[in-house]
Chains A and B, each alone.
Chain A
Amino acid sequence: QKEVEQDPGPLSVPEGAIVSLNCTYSNSAFQYFMWYRQYSRKGPELLMYTYSSGNKEDGRFTAQVDKSSKYISLFIRDSQPSDSATYLCAMSVDFGNEKLTFGTGTRLTIIP
């Protein structure tokens, strides 16, 4: 069993829709949760991070963490074609020079 599971998609939604991306994990020691966006042939860029359980909102993006269920989500409101990319969840146990464990990434396409 992988430490982090993420549906690879692909996921296609019409412009303006709400997108829900999810990851599950098995290591209960994970405390820091991140979402990265990766455009084709580019390095990942950090979208959002959260610590422990709870919600965090930044513009059109909302990250949720449910540690009791070992489940994290990223919601994108009013999706735009420019949101088309691969979204990777990542987690770590500690805050520091701790390696990240990534999900496989979900490929998202927003249809104009």
Chain B
Amino acid sequence: GAVVSQHPSRVICKSGTSVKIECRSLDFQATTMFWYRQFPKQSLMLMATSNEGSKATYEQGVEKDKFLINHASLTLSTLTVTSAHPEDSSFYICSARDWASFGYTFGSGTRLTVV
């Protein structure tokens, strides 16, 4: 089946630094990828929709300048958390749609801890 590879799985960074998270679709092309954020014991909240070759669409309340999304190819989307602060600590998950099957395939997630 379709696989979405996400890395790093865990990252700890200092407050004020930037962190890049990569999401790759393996063996299928993804024109659209989705970035979610999940706090402990809470559901996935969509942050933005990443479109290959165009600007991402951000959900209301998500800071575009803080969460930079780049979708430069049909298999790679990146999320960069700029000037990270402790409140940005969370579990970030990407997903992509494989048109060969129904449903959205999720990456394994990235646990970000800002200290």
Contacts and interface: CB of A to CB of B under 8 A. Distances in A.
Contact of A44 (B6, B44, B46, B102): B44
A99 to B, nearest CB: 5
A97 interface: yes
Summarize A's interface: helix, strand, loop or mixed.
loop
Query: Which size class do A's interface residues fall under?
Result: 20 to 34
A85 to B, nearest CB: 14
28 contacts: A6-B43, A8-B41, A36-B106, A42-B108, A42-B109, A43-B4, A43-B6, A43-B93, A43-B106, A43-B107, A43-B109, A44-B44, A44-B93, A45-B106, A46-B105, A49-B102, A88-B43, A88-B44, A95-B102, A99-B34, A99-B49, A100-B34, A100-B46, A102-B44, A103-B43, A104-B41, A104-B42, A104-B43
Interface of B: 4, 6, 31-32, 34, 41-44, 46, 49, 91, 93, 95, 97, 102-109, 111
